[in-house]
Amino acid sequence: MSKVIYEHGRPGRGTDYLPEVEVDLAALLGVDNLRGAPPPLPEVGENEVVRHYTNLSRLNYGVDTGFYPLGSCTMKYNPKIGEAAACLPGFAGLHPYARPEHAQGALRVLYDMEAHLSRICGMAAFSLQPAAGAHGELTGLMMISAWHESRGDTARRVMLIPDSAHGTNPASAVMAGFTTRQIPSDSRGLVDLEALKGALGPEVAGLMLTNPNTLGLFERDILEIARLTHEAGGLLYYDGANLNAILGHTSPGAMGFDVVHVNLHKTFATPHGGGGPGSGPVGVTEALAPFLPVPRVVSTAEGLRLETDRPLSIGRVRSFYGNFGVILRAYAYILRLGGRGLTEAAEAAVLHANYVRAKLRGVYDIPYDRVCMHECVFSAARQKEHGASAADIAKGLIDRGFHPPTMYFPLTVREALMVEPTETETPETLDAFIETMTELAALAERDPDALKAAPLSAPVGRPDEAQAARKPVLTFKE
């Protein structure tokens, strides 16, 4: 087990790597607000600090170290041009409270980024404030709620959600004050239209949909779904987690959606998960634009300004103006690729997923075996009958140098392994992954126990994931 930095220290080695405080804290904060004694800091030299953090970073698996086919997460390569843009001193050193006249460049990025996302998504306006996809969901649903209320339609408190949806969808709906009603998938893996018709009614505020859905399948009835939902007085929410599959080919606006979030850390190649904060901008149609969070960036004769006086706005959903460094990286990505480049990215993502699907057909079961979009969902149910589960196969991949695919999601597939290769991988990498998945399937059937101890190469083998998520130990006690 790795040590924490405190365990490298020894009393007496000093903490003089910290600068002296240059201000009179007692005068600024009041004596009562100061701690009685300095906090115990690790007493380590620069050498220990550098070695400790370098070694820790080497335990981390990321898109910079290897293939990361985590379905629904779009772990594409994060181009370093994004880092260069975010590190430009004029941006990196800008104080978030700088007066608008001193921050015209940053405001221009925000303003233009909203316009780019509006165009890509076919929406009238965007807000860049939400800090993640799930936060975008909450923001969008609060706007749907405010829209119904502004029309006096206060009885609409039910949100419809397909059974293949990501867990954040029902969680966000409940946080926004709705109750949820599940719509089953049909034998094609798509929204069951008859069930949808039966679920719509005067109490329904809207429908949340991911398209392509989490099975990697395009909801081909989307125009009919939009018509039915609108006719029943509901609005359509687009979960943009899978936007990477359709860039430049169609848009949520063209499909009839009213509100959309996009995950910049997925589709627009910014660091993801442990790699940094996210960003989940929300876009809306003209009718919903007055409800967007404030402040809004507006263009005036004196330049760009922040406007807060919007009576119908749901208010602020985050401090300042969103995760600006993330927005900058995504902005650089959009400008670097351009419309044609984004379209090609989507095409390659879909091609790669179909390549993997075709090569692994027969090796693993494919519950909905037809041309997929940017990801494909396999089932390890057959391997499970021999004794090796989807989790065992995923752990075996770690020992062979790959990040596992998403497991046990969507919930509608038994022993699901959801693979999203993304467009940024070479054919050689895809082939190496396919070969390893094939080897693991054979091993699962021949000697399933061989996979039970995996991973042997990772610093932590099989942690209790539920306990780790629910009761994380975040403090160090000697």
Ligand X SMILES: Cc1ncc(COP(=O)(O)O)c(C=O)c1O
Cβ nearer to ligand X, comparing 278 with 293: 278
Site string for ligand X, 150-189 (x = CB under 6 A): ----------------x-x---------------------
Q: Contacting ligand X (CB under 6 A), which of 280, 322, 404, 410?
A: 280
Which amino acid type is present at position 60?
A: N
**Judged by CB under 6 A, does residue 132 bind ligand X?**
yes
Least Cα distance to 409 among 387, 368, 378, 436 occurs for 378
Site string for ligand X, 419-458 (x = CB under 6 A): ----------------------------------------
Q: Is the peptide bond preceding residue 410 cis, with omega within 30 degrees of 0?
A: yes
**Binding flag, residue 241, ligand X (CB under 6 A):** yes
Give the three-state DSSP class for 168: helix
Smallest gap from Cβ 446 to ligand X, in A, equals: 34
Q: Which residue is nearest to ligand X (CB)?
A: 133
* By the rule CB under 6 A, 134 interacts with ligand X: yes
Rule CB under 6 A: say whether 214 interacts with ligand X. yes
Q: Is the Cβ of residue 241 or residue 444 nearer to ligand X in the bound state?
A: 241
Give the Cα separation of 433 and 398 in Å (integer). Answer: 11
Q: Considering only the stretches 28-36, 130-138, 217-225, 339-347, report the one whose residues sit in contact with ligand X under the rule CB under 6 A.
A: 130-138
Shorter beta-carbon distance to ligand X: residue 263 or 422: 263
Confirm or reject binding of residue 239 to ligand X (CB under 6 A).
Answer: yes
Residue placing its CB nearer to ligand X in the complex, 132 or 226? 132
> If binding is defined by CB under 6 A, does position 133 make contact with ligand X?
yes
| Contact between residue 240 and residue 261 where contact means Cβ atoms under 8 Å apart | yes
23 secondary structure, DSSP code: S
10 Å Cβ neighbour count for 212?
Answer: 21
Question: Is residue 144 classed exposed, middle or buried when 0-12, 13-18 and 19+ CB atoms within 10 A define those classes?
Answer: buried
**Which range, of 129-137, 303-311, 358-366, 434-442, touches ligand X by CB under 6 A?**
129-137
Q: Whole-number minimum distance, CB 266 to ligand X, in Å?
A: 7
Residue in 73, 200, 246, 376 binding ligand X, rule: CB under 6 A: 73
Q: Does 210 bind ligand X (CB under 6 A)?
A: yes
Question: Quick one: three-class SS letters along 42-77?
Answer: CCCCHHHHHHHHHHHHHHCCCCCCCCCCECCCCCCC
Residue 12 is given by DSSP the state T
β pairing state of 416-419 and 376-379: antiparallel
Near ligand X by CB under 6 A, which window of 3-11, 38-46, 127-135, 392-400? 127-135
Among 8-16, 48-56, 126-134, 393-401, the segment contacting ligand X (CB under 6 A): 126-134
Largest Cα separation within the chain, whole Å, is 74
Other beta carbons less than 10 A from residue 45's beta carbon: 14
Given 263, 270, 412, 424, the residue binding ligand X (CB under 6 A):
263
Paired tokens of 255: 């499909």
161 vs 246: CA distance, rounded Å: 21
Secondary structure (3-state) at 462: coil
Contact 237/23 with Cβ under 8 angstroms?
A: no
Q: Which residues bind ligand X (CB under 6 A)?
A: 72-73, 132-134, 166, 168, 210, 214, 239, 241, 263, 278, 280
